[in-house]
Chains A and B, each alone.
Chain A
Amino acid sequence: MRVAVPLFNNRISPHFCTSGEVLLMDIEGKKIIRQRRTYWEELNPSEKIGKLKQWGVHTLLCGGINAFNKNQLQSHGIEVVSELRGRVEEVFERWVRQSGPGNTSPETSPDPMPSPPR
């Protein structure tokens, strides 16, 4: 499964709409098998949602997100785990431990990661 985390330096972004960078992680079991950071500063919230859908993201781990965007993401079948804060690795570990992918078998391998930004 693919997980996305909007970034604020090395922390989880406090605000989904204005985040400038996103971390995409492919996860198998409880391990990250592939990850890439991508800039998306120039995208508006609906374009960001479109990108997440296009990238085949299954779960978004984020800080603050408004109800409108959360509903939009959920209507595209993307699970939203919000109100998270802290360093990305800590947040990820906490999520995996508490309610993450767990022992469920990985879903079918998603499309390749997006190309690095120009």
Chain B
Amino acid sequence: MAKTVKEKFSEICCKVIESVTEGVIAVDLSHKIHFFNQAAEKVTGFSREEAMGSYCFDILLSNICQGLCVLDETLRLKQGVVNKPAIIINKKGKEIPVSISTSLLTDETGQVIGGIETFRDLSVEETLRREIQKSYTFENMISKNVEMQKIFSILPDVAESGVPVLIQGESGTGKELVARAIHDLSPVREGPFVEINCAAIPDTLLESEFSGYVKGAFTDARMDKHGRIFLADGGTLFLDEIGELPTPLQAKLLRVIEDRELTPLGAVKPIKVNVRFVSATNRDLSMMIDQGLFRKDLYFRLNVAKVTLPPLRERREDIPLLIDYFIEKLNVVRKKDIAGVSPEVLTILMHYPFPGNVRELENILEYAFILCKGKIIETEHLPKELLEKVPLDQAVDTRSLSPLERSEAQTIQELLGRLGSKTEVAKELGISRVTLWRKLKRFGLTD
């Protein structure tokens, strides 16, 4: 018998649903599966035969099946759910991030007979995100900030040159990471990397730590001891917080750099050393020179190549990248499985000034990891002091905005904070004041 138009359309509809890249399943009111397309087979790993007649929760194995079921919500509210994020476990035990949407399934009389669940595999997007993250990674550092990218591009040449490097930057900006990167990229990478924190060692011990001593040099010198400079022979000596080095020792260090030899305490003859010097400070050394606190000649010796690290508040675009990076790292260290931060937490962190820079961000996330029992870090997991410094009503509520708009709103707010005037912000963005005003209104950034 010839097929009716209705039957033909029904067949076409089935073919269309079969061909879409989103997983589609249709379930009855008891959650039993009656339709399962090819994409659903691919995402879940279960065959159509295995899925048909099974309960949807036994096939989807998702983190929202128990208690947060979107189908139950749809049936209760008689309204579909759109793009609910969830994580399903496929047949091989692999977690797959998905976005689930639902709609009601009705018969010809309008009676609700079940629901349709569609789900999109987000792992491709997740892979892309990781690839992007990788492209912003240099040695152990991560940034997409223009200034940082410039630093990343010059570091291999600086490292190769073997000249002394001075790294300037606020506390927590990653000066030690840069020093390590310079060593790892240098011709002496197989040699030792020796670090000395000039602020952490008492003045009285600094000289013996630097130069070492020979037996009998002083009362307690019962045997020879090599200094850090000698230990770094053939490698790199990283002088952290060089601004704290006492003036008498500055002269001795200068001599070592110039003559490439050092005389341990109590020794008669100097020892030849071949050391690459990398120093770091969070202080303004040129100002210290003016105040007579730092030797000008030593400054010029150490500052052959200079790397200035911007504070985190001047590279806010890195905050989401760094959050992802630290979450991945902390998941391994703390043996947890946290997926990310909520939009509210991201908004708060994007508005915090971070006086302690990247290290402070890491500490905040470490704290949140202790309190967070679920998959997402929420506002209540953040330190109280942080919330006091960034009141929620001051942070833009970006939840209703698209990712692109969110990024736009954050950029505009950052520029407003930096430049102060709306005219300047409009000029910086290359848009008219009217367009800026419209955007401010749209993003809820008006006074």
Q: What residues make up the interface of A, taking CB atoms closer than 8 Å to B?
A: 8, 11, 13-15, 17-20, 42-47, 63-70, 72, 82-83, 85-86
Residues from chain A with a CB closer than 8 A to the CB of B373 are 42-44, 47
Do B336 and A63 have beta carbons less than 8 Å apart?
A: no
Q: Which 7 A-B pairs have the closest CB atoms?
A: A64-B61, A64-B89, A85-B58, A44-B373, A14-B57, A66-B95, A67-B93
Smallest CB-CB separation from A12: which chain B residue?
A: B58
Smallest CB-CB separation from B45: which chain A residue?
A: A83
Interface size class of B (residues with CB under 8 A): 20 to 34
| Cβ-neighbour of A63 out of B58, B67, B95 (below 8 A) | B58
| Cβ-neighbour of A13 out of B66, B91, B94, B335 (below 8 A) | B66
Residues from chain B with a CB closer than 8 A to the CB of A82 are 93
| Cβ-neighbour of B336 out of A8, A46, A67, A86 (below 8 A) | A46
Do B67 and A14 have beta carbons less than 8 Å apart?
A: no
Do B335 and A8 have beta carbons less than 8 Å apart?
A: no
Question: Residues 351-375 of chain B: 1 if any A CB is under 8 Å from the residue's CB, otherwise 0?
Answer: 0000000000000000000001110
Smallest CB-CB separation from A66: which chain B residue?
A: B95
Do B374 and A66 have beta carbons less than 8 Å apart?
A: no
Cβ of B65 under 8 Å from chain A: yes
Cβ of B224 under 8 Å from chain A: no
CA distance A84 to B88 in the complex (A): 15
Do A66 and B335 have beta carbons less than 8 Å apart?
A: no
CA distance A18 to B87 in the complex (A): 11
Smallest CB-CB separation from B68: which chain A residue?
A: A18
Do B337 and A69 have beta carbons less than 8 Å apart?
A: yes
Smallest CB-CB separation from A63: which chain B residue?
A: B61
CA distance A3 to B269 in the complex (A): 74
Do B94 and A20 have beta carbons less than 8 Å apart?
A: no
Do A15 and B66 have beta carbons less than 8 Å apart?
A: yes
Nearest-Cβ distance from residue B32 to partner chain A, whole angstroms:
13
Do B94 and A14 have beta carbons less than 8 Å apart?
A: no
Do A14 and B336 have beta carbons less than 8 Å apart?
A: no
5 further contact pairs, Cβ within 8 A, besides A14-B66, A17-B337, A18-B63? A14-B60, A45-B337, A47-B373, A68-B337, A85-B55
Cβ of B10 under 8 Å from chain A: no
Nearest-Cβ distance from residue A8 to partner chain B, whole angstroms:
5
Within 8 A of A (CB), among B84-126: 88-89, 91, 93-95
Do A15 and B61 have beta carbons less than 8 Å apart?
A: yes
CA distance A64 to B335 in the complex (A): 19
Residues from chain B with a CB closer than 8 A to the CB of A19 are 66
Nearest-Cβ distance from residue B40 to partner chain A, whole angstroms:
15
Residues from chain B with a CB closer than 8 A to the CB of A85 are 54-55, 58
Do A83 and B91 have beta carbons less than 8 Å apart?
A: yes
Nearest-Cβ distance from residue B10 to partner chain A, whole angstroms:
31
Do A65 and B89 have beta carbons less than 8 Å apart?
A: yes
Residues from chain B with a CB closer than 8 A to the CB of A83 are 91, 93
Nearest-Cβ distance from residue B369 to partner chain A, whole angstroms:
11
Do A14 and B93 have beta carbons less than 8 Å apart?
A: no
Smallest CB-CB separation from A43: which chain B residue?
A: B373
CA distance A69 to B337 in the complex (A): 9
Residues from chain A with a CB closer than 8 A to the CB of B93 are 64-67, 70, 82-83
Residues from chain B with a CB closer than 8 A to the CB of A42 are 373
CA distance A18 to B65 in the complex (A): 9
Do A14 and B374 have beta carbons less than 8 Å apart?
A: no
Nearest-Cβ distance from residue B196 to partner chain A, whole angstroms:
39
Cβ of B62 under 8 Å from chain A: yes
CA distance A44 to B62 in the complex (A): 16
| Cβ-neighbour of B67 out of A20, A67, A68, A86 (below 8 A) | A20
Residues from chain A with a CB closer than 8 A to the CB of B64 are 18
